Amino acid sequence: MAVERTLSIVKPDAVAQNNIGEIYRRFEMAGLQIIAARMTHLSKAQAESFYAVHRDRPFFTALVNFMMSGPVMVQVLEGHDAIRKNREVMGATNPAEAAAGTIRHDLAETVDANAAHGSDSPETAREEIAFFFGEDDLHSRG
Ligand code: IDP
């Protein structure tokens, strides 16, 4: 499996609960390297644009409001099979359905506030990384 990069977000609920370090530890334990990271507070326009693919879904307004409700950590994770591996470490979208030991099972309670985001395909990963970072921000260590 190729070395991939994926965009990860520690969402406002997990930042508010002081879980940044716990989530970063889980990424690193899974063999994912953090090659870029920044704390930011999304504007409404940014949150709407980032989740534009969901704009016609019934939960879109709630999702946007939640994502702009507090600061988030955005990071690029790199590693073998990084996109799938990150989603495995995060667990299912709904914490109630997430496997024990995953971020969403252990650190989140509702599908609205589910602790973490991870890109779902190589194409999405490229777009989402470019949404937050330039090439010069990425510090790949091989
Ligand atoms: P993912 O984050 O696991 O990739 P997506 O289907 O891309 O899941 O949905 C994006 C985000 O929208 C989810 O992480 C979750 O916070 C929110 N979401 C998805 N489905 C629902 C729902 O049925 N109700 C409320 N929020 C939802």
pLDDT at position 101 is 98
Question: Which residue's alpha carbon is nearest to atom 1 within ligand 1?
Answer: 93
Question: Which residue's alpha carbon is nearest to atom 6 within ligand 1?
Answer: 93
3-state secondary structure of 107: helix
pTM of the predicted model as reported, rounded to 2 decimal places: 0.98
Q: Are 138 and 7 in contact (CB under 8 A)?
A: no
The number of CA neighbours under 13 Å toward the Cβ of 34 is 18
User: Does position 142 have pLDDT exceeding 90, yes or no?
Assistant: no
3-state secondary structure of 11: coil
- Ligand 1 neighbours (beta carbon < 6 A): 59, 63, 93, 111-112, 114, 117, 120
Q: Is 82 exposed, middle or buried (0-12, 13-18, 19+ CB in 10 A)?
A: buried
Catalytic (active site) residue 117: yes
| CA 136 to ligand 1 center in whole angstroms | 30
- Residues 56-102 pLDDT 10s: 999 999 999 999 999 999 999 999 999 999 999 999 999 999 999 99
User: What does the mean pLDDT of the chain come to?
Assistant: 98
For residue 93, the ligand 1 atom closest to its alpha carbon is: 3
